[in-house]
């Protein structure tokens, strides 16, 4: 009597594990997780089209093959006194059929994929040039046409083709915004710069889309996020003109204290703020600064290479010990006092 009970328990154990495993897998599909299945632009939509085409073809083949398999298992199962079935080893008809059918299917998939690749480039004049620079481990966005530099949050106008020019000053990274475009490697020391062209639909305006680094690039590869904020054309122009301004002069005394601290401490040895330690975004001194430009830090949605949302509490945590949040990064534990941190947080968050 003990065996059936044990078997039943085992069966329930398997079912429970399957449910647990699938819920763990599905938990990764949160609202904000990047997905190629909700394309927000024509390039991503075409790429998603390949996914659906291959999925449908593969599903049809799966159903046909499994149906034939199950039919054969049931129809030709061994029964008492059943005779040895006819042996068909070496049948030319079968060999040719199961060579030709998969070849035709694979040629169809290849043809559709090549056609999509050739028609992927969205084209059009008046493209927005953005120099995307991959650092270890954060993304810098330099808009040469507007002379502004930002980090972690990339703004683009809806309906305009973006020409993302991918640079790295260290190792190979890969740039990916699942809802807008496929991946492209960011290769250091390459004579030919990799360009990735993509566009956001008009309906994508006022939304932001997560981006990722998708090439292993060191200890914090998994923490190299950014977001692409899609603006209406008007909002984008407003964003550009506000980013072009020098950093705001602090109004409160705490923020003023923070500005003074920034300028006099080691912060200014790695970070630039236009109007404080840089004359403009194009100031030659900017080339020697290894950290993100902080001129309009307060206007960004993400900080710390995309691992934290931009809130005073998160910035406080970051300044207390960046190495605890992202071990291995260039920014050291500065040993700031709580008062110094409060002043810096007040200042940096005021830089809208
Ligand atoms: Cu950069 Cu992975």
Q: Is 224 in the pocket of ligand 1 (CB under 6 A)?
A: yes
Rounded CA separation 319/222 (Å): 21
Q: Is 135 in the pocket of ligand 1 (CB under 6 A)?
A: no
What mean pLDDT is predicted for residues 171-197? Answer: 94
- Name the token pair of 246: 């020098």
Q: Which residue has the higher pLDDT, 23 or 340?
A: 340
- The dihedral through the CA atoms of 263, 267, 270, 274 has a sign that is negative
Confidence of residue 27 (pLDDT cuts 50, 70, 90): low
Determine the pLDDT at residue 323: 95
Q: Which ligand 1 atom is at minimum distance from the Cα of 186?
A: 1
- Asked if residue 339 has pLDDT above 70, the reply is yes
- Asked if residue 8 has pLDDT above 90, the reply is no
Q: Is 217 in the pocket of ligand 1 (CB under 6 A)?
A: yes
Per-position DSSP letters for 58-115, written without gaps between them: HHHHHHHHHHHHHHHHHHT---TTPPPPPP-TT-HHHHHHHHHHHHHHHHHHHHHHHH
**What is the pTM assigned to this prediction?**
0.84
Determine the pLDDT at residue 85: 80
- Interacting residues of 323 by C-beta distance below 8 A, sequence separation 6+: 329, 331, 332, 333
- Name the token pair of 73: 């298992």
Ligand 1 centre distance from Cα of residue 174 (Å): 6
SS3 letters across 134-179: EECCEEEEEECCCCEEEECEEEEECCCCEEEEEEECCCCEEEEECC
Determine the pLDDT at residue 1: 45
Q: Is 213 in the pocket of ligand 1 (CB under 6 A)?
A: yes
- Asked if residue 81 has pLDDT above 70, the reply is yes
Cis peptide upstream of residue 324 (ω within 30 degrees of 0): no
User: What's the mean pLDDT when you consider all of the chain?
Assistant: 91
Ligand 1 centre distance from Cα of residue 327 (Å): 15
What mean pLDDT is predicted for residues 312-330? Answer: 95
Ligand 1 centre distance from Cα of residue 276 (Å): 31
Q: Which residue has the higher pLDDT, 34 or 251?
A: 251
- Name the token pair of 328: 């291995």
Determine the pLDDT at residue 7: 63
Q: Which ligand 1 atom is at minimum distance from the Cα of 217?
A: 2
Contact call for residues 271 and 291 (beta carbons, < 8 A): yes
Task: Classify strands 226-231 and 153-157 as parallel, antiparallel or unpaired.
Answer: parallel
């Amino acid at each position: 009597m003990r065996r059936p009970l044990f078997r039943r328990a085992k069966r329930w154990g398997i079912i429970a594990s399957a449910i647990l495993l699938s819920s763990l897998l599905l938990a990764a599909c949160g609202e904000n997780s990047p997905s190629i299945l909700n394309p927000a632009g024509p390039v991503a939509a075409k790429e998603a089209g390949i996914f659906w085409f291959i999925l449908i073809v593969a599903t049809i083949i799966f159903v046909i093959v499994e149906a034939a398999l199950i039919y054969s298992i049931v129809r030709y199962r061994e029964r008492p006194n059943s005779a040895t079935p006819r042996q068909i080893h070496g049948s030319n008809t079968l060999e040719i059929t199961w060579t030709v059918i998969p070849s035709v299917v694979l040629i169809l998939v290849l043809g559709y994929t090549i056609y999509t690749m050739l028609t992927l480039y969205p084209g059009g004049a008046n493209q927005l040039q953005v120099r995307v620079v991959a650092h270890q481990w954060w993304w810098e966005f330099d808009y040469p046409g507007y002379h502004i530099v930002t980090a972690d949050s990339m703004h683009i106008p809806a309906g305009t083709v973006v020409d993302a020019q991918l640079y790295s000053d260290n190792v190979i990274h890969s740039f990916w915004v699942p809802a807008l475009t496929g991946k492209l490697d960011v290769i250091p020391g390459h004579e030919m710069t990799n360009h990735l062209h993509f566009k956001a639909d008009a309906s994508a305006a006022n939304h932001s889309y997560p981006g990722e680094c998708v090439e292993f690039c060191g200890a914090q590869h998994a923490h190299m996020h950014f977001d692409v904020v899609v603006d209406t054309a008007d909002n984008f122009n407003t964003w550009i003109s506000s980013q072009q301004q020098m950093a705001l002069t602090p109004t409160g005394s705490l923020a003023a204290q923070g500005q003074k601290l920034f300028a006099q401490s080691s912060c200014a040895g790695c970070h630039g703020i236009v109007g404080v330690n840089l004359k403009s975004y194009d100031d030659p001194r900017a080339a020697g600064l290894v950290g993100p430009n902080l001129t309009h830090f307060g206007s960004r949605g993400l900080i710390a290479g995309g691992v934290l949302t931009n809130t005073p509490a998160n910035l406080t945590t970051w300044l207390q010990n960046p190495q605890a949040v992202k071990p291995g990064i260039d920014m050291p534990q500065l040993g700031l006092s709580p008062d110094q941190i409060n002043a810096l947080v007040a200042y940096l968050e005021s830089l809208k």
